[in-house]
Every structure is written in C-alpha cells, then in structure tokens.
Amino acid sequence: MSQLFRYCRAHRIALGLFVAALAGLCLFWAARGNRVWMDAWLAHVSMPVKGAVSALVDPLPFSVCEASVTVLILFVLFMAGRTVWQLVRRGQNRFGTLVLHFVTAAVWVYLLVCALWGTQYYGTTFAEKAGMTGGAVETGDLAAVAAYFARQANETADAVPRDGEGVFAVSVQEILSHSSGVYDNAVAEYPCLAGPERSAKPAFYSRIMSAAGFTGYLCPLFGESTVNVDCPAVFLPVTVAHEFAHQRGVAAEQEANFCGIYASVTSGKAEYVYSGWLYGFVHLFNALYSADPEQALAAWEQLCPEARADIGCNDAYWASWEGPVETLGETVYEGFLQSYDQKLGMRSYGACVDLLVEKYLPLAGEKQPL
C-alpha cells in the first residue's frame, strides 16, 4: 500500500489530468442527449475554436494534422526506445510511468475530439436547418433523378480537360487552387452553410489513405481538411467540397455528401460541376441497383463514354487497393461513427440519395416507369 501511495504521490499531476479527462468525457456522455446544450456549445465554443485554429494553420502548405501525427509517432517510438535502454543499461523500470503518461495523453486527445467534433453529431442537423426531410423515396423517383444526373454529367463532361484515353485530366493543383468560393451559391440557398473560407491540404500520406480506403478527412483538433491526391482526380473536387461541408458544421456523412454535391454543381467551376454531377450519379445508381437492377442499368446506359471511362478508372484504382488494410480502415471508421450514434456507419455515405431525390425530383421530370 505504501508503494502505491508513493507512486500516486510521485505522479499526482498525471493522475489528476487523467481523472479530469475522464470527468470531461462523462460530462459529454451525459450532455449529448440535450439538443439545446449541444447547439449552444457548437455555436459559442466548438465552431469558433475550430475557426480560429484553422485560420492559423490554413496558410501553411502542408497538413498540420499529418505533421502532428508524424511527430507524435516518432516521439512515442523514441520514448519507448529510451525506456527500454534505461531498463537494460541502468535497471530502471519506467514502463508504468510511460504507460500512464501515454494513456493520459490519449484520453485527453479523445476528449478534445469529442468536444470539437463528437458534439456535432448531436446538434441540429443540416436537413433540419434546411427544412428537408430526407425520407424514404420511391424507386420510380430514384430512377428519374438518376437519369437526370446522368444527363447533367453528359452535358458537363466535355467542359473538363481529358487525356489521350478520354479520362478526366484536371491537375490536383488546379482543383485545389479553384476551391475558393465553391460554397458561395450553396450558401445563398442554404445560409446555414456559411463559414470561413479555408483551403484543402494535399495529403503526404495519400497512398496510406488509399490503402485504408479514405479519400479525405477533417481533423477535429485543427479544423483542417486533408485530401487524398493519389487516387483518380475525377472525384477530388467533390471530395474537397464534402470536407468543406464538415468544416462548416455538417457532421453526418450523408448530409456532407449532399452538401458537397450541391456546392459542386452550383459552383460555376467546370471541374467541380462535372465532379458533383458524376459523383451524385454514382450514389443514385448504387441505390437504384439495390432496388431495381434493370432500371439502374438503363440509367447507366444513358451515360456518355467519357463519364463511363472516368467511373471505370476510379473503380479500377480502388479495386487495386482491396485487402485487409482497407477492411481494417473501414471497420475502425465505422466503429468511430457508430460510437457517436451514427447507426448507419459508413453506409450513411450512400444515404445522401434521399436528400438528392428530394432536392432534384422537381427538376427531373416524370418518374421512370416501374
């Protein structure tokens, strides 16, 4: 007992920080069911903090999140090696102290993620702010909107540069440099999407992201968007817009997909417009294929050869990365989403079709025959 007392006394600061972090997490878990509290926290704490921090890191040409993780991993390896060296050369066993400090730091990072990002899932949703229901749709309506997106993709496919094989050939640098103002017209329609202009950072570890099945992410601690620049560029514009939706307070993946698509197709920037229409078509096609394969194939036949080539190139790239690493990445992220009561997990990426049908059905004309 005296040894335990001496240990606690020697490490009282670390233990105090650990207990404080646990108390913060308990407060989050207790308060997340109160929509009023969550909205107040988001409006007065979380969003202002992320806006201020993202303004500081935005001018830097690299992803601060990636750099921080790299430094952290190197530091952990150094400390682990140092601890082993002390044990072997000096007989000093400090593994307990090292574990305590690392666990305390990890709990604090998780608390900050919950405070600056997890709370987003419990505030008023984009659909609620926009007056949209996002309810279930009829197959005929889904087919009509899928056909409409195919027509729009066809009309905008020739507006972007293509390589010798007819595939989308806009450079990553051009796509990222054109991201400013992508949300201007979307904000005019949905003022709740207003937010500070930020840039998207190209990921240095893009191939690692590909192996894990990710196209981009928003760092909760820095409010910074980082995108995969190794995968085919055709869906990079809409991915940038998707991450910008997260920066503007849209948490749910299906809503961020809708916002990214809508912002892209209304941006007036050729590569973003085409990327948005084609990306929306892919989601609509996948949902329609689950409901009625025959109608889905009919919608696919309406796509021009250029659009089909772009989808084929993208599919081939991601097929080359299929494996245990991708499965692990998807499993971990799905668990992360579900820990915040996002019950659809990664499947929620496809649920944006309900919002797309609600928004675009009036423009799509008559529903397709069943």
pLDDT-derived band at 296, boundaries 50, 70, 90: very high
Locate 333 and state its tokens: 């992220």
Mean pLDDT calculated for residue range 299-309 = 95
Q: Which of 98-107, 163-172, 277-286, 298-307 has the lowest mean pLDDT?
A: 98-107
Q: How many CB atoms lie within 10 A of CB 182?
A: 24
Structure confidence by residue, pLDDT tens digits, 34-68? 999 999 999 999 999 999 999 999 999 999 999 99
**Of 117, 127, 95, which Cα lies nearest the Cα of 47?**
117
Model confidence, pTM:
0.88
**Of 307, 315, 283, 360, which Cα lies nearest the Cα of 159?**
307
